[in-house]
Amino acid sequence: MGRLTTHVLDLTTGKPAHGLAIELWRLDDGTPAHLKTVRTNNDGRIDKPLLEGGALAVGCYELRFLAGDYLKNQGVDLPEPPFLDVIPIRFGVADSEGHYHVPLLLSAFGYSTYRGS
On whether the CB atoms of residues 47 and 5 are closer than 8 A, the answer is no
* pLDDT at residue 82 is higher than 80: yes
Distance CA(114)–CA(30), nearest Å, equals 23
Between the CA atoms of 84, 85, 86 and 89, what dihedral angle is there, to the nearest 10 degrees? 10
pLDDT band of 105, cuts 50, 70, 90: very high
Mean pLDDT (the chain, rounded): 96
Round to whole Å and give the CA distance between 87 and 79: 17
| pLDDT, tens digit (0-9, with 9 covering 90-100), for 35-58 | 999 999 999 999 999 999 999 999
**Rounded mean pLDDT of 11-25?**
97
Residues linked to residue 100 through DSSP beta bridges, in sequence order: 4
Backbone angles phi, psi at 6, to 5 degrees: -155, 165
CATH architecture entry for 3-113: Sandwich (2.60)
Tally of CB atoms within 10 A around 101: 15
> Does the structure show a pLDDT above 90 at 30?
no
pLDDT at residue 28 tops 90: no
| Stated pTM of the model | 0.96
Region 87-104: mean pLDDT is: 97
The amino acid sitting at 4 is L
